[in-house]
Amino acid sequence: MEHPLRFGIWALVHGNRGALNDPEEPYDASWERNRKLMLEAESLGFDCVLIAQHTANPHREDLDQLEAWTSAAAIAALTSRLEIITAIKPMLYHPVVLAKMAMQIEAISKGRMALNLVNAWNRKEIVNAGMEFREHDERYAYGEEWLEVVERLMRGERVDFKGKYFEITDYILHPVGAARPRPRIYVGGESDPARDLSARQADVWFINGQPLDDVKALIADVRRRPRPPGKPPLRYGLSAFVIARETEAEAEKAYQRLRDLSRQDTDIKAYVKQNTDAKVVMRQTMAKSERVGTNGGTAAGLVGSYDQVAERIAAFHAAGIETLLTQYQPFEPEMRRFAQHIMPRLASLRSAQLQAAQ
C-alpha cells in the first residue's frame, strides 16, 4: 500500500463496547477514564482516537455519557501526536458554530483535529430535543450542504452561501490553521447517499466492521463514484472489535465469554432498536450475524491467534483500508495486548512484503 496502516481506538464515550455487565470491566464513561485511555493509547503507538458524539446515552438513558467536542478540546491540549477524530451530527450544530469549534481545536492541537460526519440514527436524541428528524436521504442532503459550509469556513474562505437549508452571508473565521489548509474530514455511513457524499466531499470513508470480501466490494463501489477533479483520492477506514490471544482456541474462549455477556443486554438492544431509523444501513448490516461490539464489531473477523489477527489486518490493508479503528473489552488490557503482540507482527509482515517487492 502507498499509505502506511494507521491504528486508532474508539473512546469509551458510553462505556463498554462489547457487553454492559462485565465483571472484568465495570461501567465507566467518565472523562477521567477516557483521559487516561487516550494518553496511554498515544504512548503505546496508536495514531488516532474516534470520539463518537451522543448527547444522551444511546443504550440506556440512565447511564453516563461523555460529551464529544469538549472532550476533544481537552485532549487536544494534553496530547502531542494523536489525531483527534470527533464525530458530529449536523442537525445538532449550526455549521458556522461547528466550523469555529473545529478550527479552535485545530489550533490547540497544532494540526491534529479531524471531524467525522455522521447523519444520525438515533431518532430520540433529535426529536426529544424539539428538532426535526428528517427522512434518511434528506439527512444526507442536509449534511452535504452543512459540510460544504463547514469545509469552506475551515479553509478560511469568506463564505456567501444560499442553499435549501442554510443561508450564510459574508462570513469568515480566524485564525486559520497554520499546519495545513483545514482539518481532515471523515464520513461514515454505507447507504447510497452516504457513499455519494463520501466520494464527493470526504478525505476518508469509514466502513463498519464486516468481512473482507464485503469491504472489498464497498471500496470498489465507492471508487466508481464521481469525485471532484483535483481532489486527492479517497482513503478508507474500518471499525473492528479485536480479540487476539496466543492460540485460536484461547481467542475463541474469550469471544464466547463476551458473546454470552452481550446476550444479557436484551433491554439495551430493544431500546436501541426502538429509537433507530429502520433505513439506517449500519443496523441492517449488523443484523446479518451475531457479533460483539458496536459498528460491526467482531463481524470483521479479527478474532484469533496473534498471527491470524495480524494476517487478517494485513489483508484489509492490502484491500485499501488505511485506518483501523479498534475496540476491545476489557478495553485497557486488551489495547495493551494489541500494541504488544499485533503491532510488531504487522511491522514484520510489512517489512517482509517490501523486501519481496524489491
* 262-278 residue pLDDT tens: 999 888 777 777 767 66
Question: According to the model, what pLDDT value does residue 281 have?
Answer: 61
> Does residue 244 fall inside a structural domain?
yes
pLDDT of residue 187: 97
What percent of the chain stands above pLDDT 70?
93
DSSP 8-state symbol, 61: T
More confident residue, 236 or 178: 236
Domain annotation covers residue 99: yes
Residue 265 is predicted with a pLDDT of: 85
Dihedral of alpha carbons 240, 258, 72, 172, sign: positive
Question: Residue 318 domain-assigned?
Answer: yes
Q: What integer pLDDT is reported at residue 284 of this predicted model? A: 57
Higher pLDDT, 4 or 287: 4
Cα–Cα dist 87/110, whole Å: 19
Question: How confident is the model at residue 169, as a pLDDT?
Answer: 98
User: Whole domain around residue 53: which residue ranges?
Assistant: 6-357
pLDDT averaged over the chain? 92
Residue 280 to residue 283: CA distance in whole angstroms: 6
Between CA 318 and CA 231, with CA 5 as vertex, the angle to 5 degrees is: 85
Q: Is the pLDDT at 96 greater than 80, yes or no? A: yes
Q: How far apart are CA 302 and CA 242, in angstroms?
A: 5
pLDDT in tens, 18-70: 999 999 999 999 999 999 999 999 999 999 999 999 998 888 888 999 999 99
Q: Is residue 336 part of a domain?
A: yes
Q: What is the pLDDT of residue 316?
A: 98
Per mean pLDDT, which range of 183-187, 280-284, 291-295 is the poorest? 280-284
Query: What confidence tier does 165 reach under pLDDT thresholds 50, 70, 90?
Result: very high
User: What is the share, in percent, of the chain residues with pLDDT greater than 90?
Assistant: 80
- Phi, psi at 186, each rounded to 5°: -105, 145
**Residue 331 corresponds to which cell in the numbers above?**
478495553
Q: What are phi and psi of 49, to 5 degrees?
A: -135, 140
Q: What is the pLDDT of residue 287?
A: 61
Q: What is the pLDDT of residue 164?
A: 97
Closest by CA to 163, choosing from 227, 103, 95, is: 95
Asked if residue 245 is part of any domain, the answer here is yes
Is residue 51 included in any domain, yes or no? yes
- 239, 296 contact by CB (below 8 A): yes
- Residue 243's pLDDT is 98
Q: Cis (ω within 30 of 0) for the bond into 26?
A: no
Q: What kind and span of H or E run contains 238?
A: strand 235-241
Question: How far lies 65's CA from each of 154, 216, 290, 296, in Å?
Answer: 28, 34, 25, 21
**Residue at 193 is within a domain:** yes
Of 109, 250, 122, 127, nearest in space to 178 by CA: 109
Say which residues have a Cβ less than 8 Å from residue 325's Cβ, sequence separation at least 6.
8, 9, 10, 48, 50, 206, 237, 238, 239, 240
Residue 1 included in any domain? no
| pLDDT at residue 288, as a whole number | 62
Beta strands in 4-55 (DSSP E): 6-10, 48-51
Dump pLDDT digits (tens) for 295-305: 999 999 999 99
Rg of the chain over Cα atoms, rounded to whole angstroms, equals 20
Name, in order, each residue with C-beta under 8 angstroms of 178's C-beta and a sequence gap of 6 or more: 107, 110, 111
Q: Is 234 exposed, middle or buried (0-12, 13-18, 19+ CB in 10 A)?
A: buried
Query: Any idea which residue has 467536542 for its cell?
Result: 69
Q: 49 with 78: CB under 8 angstroms? A: no
Q: How many domains does the chain have?
A: 1
CATH number, domain at 153?
A: 3.20.20.30
Is the entire prediction scored with pTM above 0.85? yes
Q: What is the mean pLDDT of residues 343-356?
A: 79
